[in-house]
Amino acid sequence: MKFLGKTKGTAAFEKHRQTWITEADIKEIAATGVLNIVRVPVGHWIIRDATTSPGTEADMFANGGLKYLDTLINTWAVQYNLAVIINLHAHQGSQNGFEHSAPVTMGRIGWSTSQTNIDNSLKFATFLAARYRNSPAFLGLALMNEPLPPVDRTALQNYYIQAYKQIRATGNMCILLVTTFLNEQDADHLYGMIGAPAYVNVWNEIHAYFIWGFSEVSEQRILAEVDAFDQTHLKAAPTNNRLFLGEWCMGGPPDQTGIFQNLDNFRELGRKQLAYYNADLTGGWAFWSWRHSDETIKAGSSVQFSQISE
Q: How is 128-156 classified by DSSP, letter by letter? A: HHHHHTT-TTEEEEE--SS--TTS-HHHH
Q: Model's pTM, two decimal places?
A: 0.93
CB 27 within 8 A of CB 80: yes
Percent of the chain beyond pLDDT 90?
Answer: 76
Does the structure show a pLDDT above 80 at 45? yes
Does the structure show a pLDDT above 90 at 74? yes
Domain map (residue ranges) of the chain: 6-308
DSSP annotation of 39 reads E
| pLDDT range class, residue 58, cuts 50, 70, 90 | confident
Q: What pLDDT, on a 0 to 100 scale, did the predictor assign at position 115?
A: 97
Q: What pLDDT, on a 0 to 100 scale, did the predictor assign at position 294?
A: 72
**Average pLDDT of the residues in 231-242:** 97
Q: What pLDDT, on a 0 to 100 scale, did the predictor assign at position 4?
A: 78
Q: What pLDDT, on a 0 to 100 scale, did the predictor assign at position 198?
A: 98
| pLDDT range class, residue 1, cuts 50, 70, 90 | low
Express each pLDDT in 156-209 by its tens digit. Answer: 999 999 999 999 999 999 999 999 999 999 999 999 999 999 999 999 999 999
| pLDDT range class, residue 306, cuts 50, 70, 90 | very low
Return the biggest CA–CA distance within the chain.
54
Q: What pLDDT, on a 0 to 100 scale, did the predictor assign at position 307?
A: 46
Under CATH, what is the fold of the domain 6-308? TIM Barrel (3.20.20)
- Dihedral angle at the C-alpha atoms of 121, 168, 133, 58, nearest 10 degrees? -10
Q: What pLDDT, on a 0 to 100 scale, did the predictor assign at position 302?
A: 46
Does the structure show a pLDDT above 90 at 51? no
Percent of the chain beyond pLDDT 70?
Answer: 92
Q: What pLDDT, on a 0 to 100 scale, did the predictor assign at position 298?
A: 56
**Average pLDDT of the residues in 127-147:** 98
Helices within the chain (DSSP H only):
6-19, 23-31, 66-71, 77-79, 115-132, 153-168, 187-190, 219-229, 263-280, 302-308
Does the structure show a pLDDT above 50 at 310? no
Express each pLDDT in 247-305 by its tens digit. Answer: 999 888 876 767 888 889 999 999 999 999 999 999 999 999 998 877 665 555 544 44
**Average pLDDT of the residues in 237-246:** 97
Q: Calculate the average pLDDT of the chain.
A: 91
Q: What pLDDT, on a 0 to 100 scale, did the predictor assign at position 297?
A: 58
**SS3 at position 38:** strand
Read out DSSP for 200-227?
TTEEEEEEE-SSTT-TT--HHHHHHHHH
